[in-house]
Amino acid sequence: MDISAVNALPYEDFVNIFGNVVEKCPLITAAVWTRRPFTSFNALEAAINEFIDALPESGKEGILRCHPDLAGKHLHSGALTRESQEEQTRAGMDALSSAEASQMTRLNEEYKGRFGFPFVICARMNDKVTILHELSERCQNERAAERARGIGEVKKICRLRLQGLVLSDATNKL
Ligand SMILES: NC(=O)N[C@H]1NC(=O)NC1=O
């Protein structure tokens, strides 16, 4: 799908296709539709990032709170979004040893207790070793730094999801 096809999409199709590039935040996609025409996919990505950056800090935290825990209960019950399920599985989150799984649960809870939002990291750019390491390190950060760091990871996840959609059959069928 090329960018002119994206620009021609009615908002219903645009939101259906791109609505989960930021996890469970279709409102962002729906808002960004008004920024058409996009000159490129980078311009679409930039419009999403600008929308996120313009949110108050509570809105940024809201985005983080829409993310499921890594290796959390929803991974095993199949209750994740398709994108999150794929990303977590690729990073080996479904294949942790019992010691790793308990460490992950303990640190995820510690992180959420400290900051009031979940630990977010781009799973596709990491593996279980780096994820556990980062989770443990980032628990020590200040809240504002962690909010910014989490949003940086949301943008990386968004970029990879956008790329996947542009190359996938889902969009070529239009
Ligand atoms: N909590 C968290 O980081 N979740 C995610 N990361 C990622 O790459 N996909 C997710 O669902």
pLDDT tens digits, 32-50: 999 999 999 999 999 999 9
At 146, the amino acid letter reads E
Give mean pLDDT, residues 113-121: 98
Q: Is the pTM of this model over 0.90?
A: yes
Question: What does the mean pLDDT of the chain come to?
Answer: 94
Does residue 67 have an active-site annotation? yes
Which protein residue's CA is at the shortest distance from atom 3 of ligand 1? 120
- Mutation test residue for ligand 1: of 65, 67, 89, the one with most atoms within 8 Å of CB: 67
Å from CA of 2 to ligand 1 middle? 27
Q: What is 3-61+165-172's CATH topology? A: UraD-like (1.10.3330)
Q: Enumerate the CATH 1.10.3330.10 domain ranges in the chain, comma separated.
A: 3-61+165-172, 68-154
pLDDT attached to residue 128: 94
Q: Which residues line ligand 1 (CB under 6 A)?
A: 23, 67-70, 84, 87, 118-124, 157
Å from CA of 4 to ligand 1 middle? 30
pLDDT attached to residue 127: 95
ipTM at complex level: 0.98
pLDDT tens digits, 17-27: 999 999 999 99
Which protein residue's CA is at the shortest distance from atom 1 of ligand 1? 120
Ligand 1 atom index nearest CA of 69: 1
pLDDT attached to residue 168: 73
pLDDT band at residue 170, thresholds of 50, 70 and 90?
Answer: low
Quick check: 171 pLDDT over 90?
no
Domain with residues 68-154, CATH architecture: Orthogonal Bundle (1.10)
Quick check: 108 pLDDT over 60?
yes
